[in-house]
Structure 1
């Protein structure tokens, strides 16, 4: 366990991640991931540089985030979510803080992410529109 907040705890132990709960969210609610197969989601989980889960006091996983990184200069924050019924407790902020500010060496990394709906959350942690040095090649169909 890395932190507690009210009735919740954050944990970066990959073995604790509820793979079924993760798949349920990613396959039904995540606008950014519904095209992935279960095998792909689990492969991404297993290959992650770091993961953080949010767990209710009853043991249920109610939030999640993962990062990929070279551990030296670059990290990508992905698959951040908190279940609707558990929002409003600061869990999104706690997740992003745990990933970006509390990852070992995370403060020296250039963090990237894509989001369509949570700009305000990420701006609180220094995320902004990329500068002129950033290019992106979108996923090819």
Structure 2
């Protein structure tokens, strides 16, 4: 497994199969754009296939706060510690900041608590017409 925070050598063709279960998923080209526009990202790459098999993104002001909007591992690679490693690496990248926030479903709270995160209340607004991020 290779972990990298650069898009050097990464094409949209390497970003297939993500956003599992989304009714209107971003296509691989949009996925590449969202990585390009993230403050930070880390990719997990299967060195045997040279395919991206997981990723995590962060949006930050670089001073006090960051938000982790996306963490995803391709289904066939789940439960192998890849997500854990991506979160660990991202938290280390952001450890100079005061607050690192993310929103997750209730069933994922215990997962994130293992990283020292605390459950809190949050509010969200979703514009489902724009869920795919595609033009």
TM-score by length of 2: 0.75
Counterpart pick for 1:15 among 8, 18, 28: 8
RMSD of aligned alpha carbons: 2.5
**Contact 1:73 1:110 (C-alpha < 8 Å) held by counterparts:** yes
Counterpart pick for 1:56 among 46, 51, 55: 46
Q: Which residue of structure 1 lines up, in the alignment, with residue 133 of structure 2? A: none
CA–CA distance in 2 between the matches of 1:61 and 1:95?
13
SS at match of 1:72: coil
Q: Which residue of structure 2 lines up, in the alignment, with residue 94 of structure 1? A: 85
CA–CA distance in 1 between the matches of 2:77 and 2:28?
24
Counterpart pick for 2:109 among 92, 113, 119: 119
Are residues 56 and 37 of structure 1, via their aligned partners in 2, closer, same or farther at CA, if it must alter by over 3 Å?
closer
5 Å-filtered alignment, 1:1-141, equals 8-22=1-15, 24-26=17-19, 29-31=20-22, 34=24, 36=26, 40-58=30-48, 59-101=50-92, 103=93, 105-116=94-105, 117-130=107-120, 136-140=123-127
TM-score by length of 1: 0.72
